[in-house]
Amino acid sequence: MTTRDELLAQKEDLERQLAALDQPKDTRTPAQQIADLLHAKSCHYNHIDQCGYNYGTWANNASDSTRQKYLRRAEELLARHPGNEAVIIDVLSYVGAV
């Protein structure tokens, strides 16, 4: 016979699984995620008319695009610290989050 506590634990687990299903999937690569975080933490330009980051796309390979510049920085960071994508993302997410 299943106890009340076991049923509550199963309920909580199912609720977590359901919540995870409701979350949109992030289709960005780790380098793209890091580029977004680097931009969010370091760009001090006016985003109405001075920064083109949000006007670009990941498919735009023009080397002079703002988005590609941040992507190159992210790729350099990943190259210096291979296998640490999750840690880099976590640290950048934490910085300035107070």
Q: What are the residue boundaries of the structural domains of the chain, listed by start?
A: 27-94
**In terms of Cα–Cα distance, which of 62, 61, 30, 56 is closest to 43?**
56
**H helices within 1-98, ranges in order?**
4-22, 30-42, 66-80, 85-94
What pTM does this model have?
Answer: 0.66
pLDDT tens string 5-16: 888 888 888 888
Residues 6+ apart with CB under 8 A from 37: 89, 92, 93
Its sign, for the CA torsion 59, 61, 64, 67, is positive
Q: Is the pLDDT of residue 96 over 70?
A: no
* pLDDT band per the 50, 70, 90 thresholds, residue 71: very high
